[in-house]
Amino acid sequence: MDFDVLPPLPRVFGRVVLRRLEVADLDRFQSYRHDPAVGRYQGWEPQPDREVVQFIEEMSRLDLFPRGAWIQLGLAMCASNELVGDVGICIDAEDRRAEIGFTLARDAQGAGLGTEAVRGLIQFIFEQAGVAEVVAVTDQRNVPAGRLLERVGMRKVESLPTLFRGESCVEQVWTISRTAAQNHNAGAR
């Protein structure tokens, strides 16, 4: 075993830590995933406990970056290890692009935790995967998510009219390249 190489997870980003989801997170996970305000612009739907336990167990066994499939990881407070949200990562089959998504519990929003987490997540993906860019897709009505993506250096490259949960909306596609992320992080220090 090479002791000079740190395991990729857990990884600390400011006040939050990126880690595998744990069955012990069930109550907290369910609390924010059942909050209609938190889930309004998300692609997931609330699920019963037994399905969430299966999901968490499945995510804990997946390789870190399965190509062409999503993996969900937890975001927890460093001080308490309490789950405050989760992130999804999908590396495309060609290993060129990673798509990310993020969810924060309502009581964790507005304090800069999301910015710390997503900025760190982007850096983490570029360190651990061979992708050239990271993308995110938001609903135009989700203004706080768009502002967060701007803060971490992503730029809006496309707006697409679509239907989401039976409602007309505009999806915004955001992107950041490896070089742009390095430059943005150097300027943020």
Q: In this predicted model, what pLDDT tens digit does every residue of 39-76 receive, in sequence order?
A: 999 999 999 999 999 999 999 999 999 999 999 999 99
CATH code, 131: 3.40.630.30
| Residue 151, in any domain of the structure | yes
More confident: 130 or 118: 118
Q: How far apart are CA 185 and CA 7, in angstroms?
A: 22
Instruction: Tell me the CA distances in angstroms from 55 to 19, 72, 94, 99, one per residue in order.
Output: 15, 9, 25, 20
Q: Which domain holds residue 42?
A: 11-188
Asked if pLDDT for residue 156 goes beyond 60, the answer is yes
- Predicted TM-score (pTM) of the model is 0.92
| Residue 2, in any domain of the structure | no
| Residue 97, in any domain of the structure | yes
| Residue 6, in any domain of the structure | no
| Residue 5, in any domain of the structure | no
Domain count, the chain: 1
Q: Identify the pLDDT of residue 2.
A: 46
| Residue 4, in any domain of the structure | no
| Residue 66, in any domain of the structure | yes
- Provide the percentage of residues in the chain whose pLDDT is more than 90: 89
| Mean pLDDT to the nearest integer, 30-34 | 98
| Mean pLDDT to the nearest integer, 120-128 | 96
| Residue 65, in any domain of the structure | yes
Q: What HEC string does 134-171 produce?
A: EEEEEECCCHHHHHHHHHCCCEEEEEEEEEECCEEEEE
Asked if pLDDT for residue 112 goes beyond 90, the answer is yes
Asked if pLDDT for residue 184 goes beyond 90, the answer is no
Q: Identify the pLDDT of residue 102.
A: 98
